Amino acid sequence: MENDLMYRVLLLALFISFVAYRGYCTRKFGRSNEDTIKQREGNFASLVANLLSLPGLIAVVIYIVYPVWMAWASLSFPVWLRWVGVGTAVSGFALLQWAHQALDKNWSDTPRLMKGQTLVTGGPYRWIRHPIYTAFLLIMSATLFLSANWFIGLMWIGMTLLEVLSRITFEESLMAETFGDKYRNYMKHTGRFLPRLR
């Protein structure tokens, strides 16, 4: 197995950056539970997503500390494809920042409706209804490219997809219930994860 210390360091940096950024957003934009009007209760998809994160996290730690133990799931990626992972992660973080700036105090770390919440249609929300989830998918997809390991990629992409799809179902029904035709019209002109092709 080739020496991939640089990619292991980049993968570690990706996870540290993601956790640090989420903590920063929670401090900057977070609101108390007293502001909650309605929120999503736990569901099966979310539970499965949380369960997948444990083997995913263990696999990442093993890959970073002693990659030989994860060699059974390694993929033969060319160097340029592994660097695609870096570009994918950077793009994801840029989109995440843009979406958080657009949402400001309308952001919440959990799917919920808050007092004084408004329908945000500026920034990336002009084209995409869920740019934060698109950003999550980009960032977690980078784990596949950086690690060149199908098990690590599958765990993180699978966990993220399950959680995102679970959240979207609740959020879109809540937004339609709260904002009515205004939100339904907004849905007609925007894509869920990518801009709608006209």
What's the pLDDT band for 107 if we cut at 50, 70, 90?
confident
Q: Does position 198 have pLDDT exceeding 50, yes or no?
A: yes
Q: How confident is the model over 57-62, as a mean pLDDT?
A: 96
The CATH number that applies at residue 61 is 1.20.120.1630
Number of domains the chain contains: 1
What pLDDT is recorded for position 114? 84
Structural domain contains residue 91: yes
What pLDDT is recorded for position 1? 45
Structural domain contains residue 79: yes
Structural domain contains residue 197: no
Q: Does position 62 have pLDDT exceeding 60, yes or no?
A: yes
Structural domain contains residue 75: yes
For 142, the domain range is 5-189
Structural domain contains residue 182: yes
- The pTM (predicted TM-score) of the whole model is 0.91
Structural domain contains residue 162: yes
Structural domain contains residue 39: yes
Residues 6 or more apart whose Cβ sits within 8 Å of residue 133: 164, 167, 168, 193
Write out pLDDT tens, residues 33-49. Answer: 787 778 777 777 788 88
What's the pLDDT band for 3 if we cut at 50, 70, 90?
low
Structural domain contains residue 159: yes
Q: How distant, in Å, are the alpha carbons of 6, 25, 91, 180, 189 from that of 175?
A: 43, 22, 27, 7, 15
What's the pLDDT band for 21 if we cut at 50, 70, 90?
very high
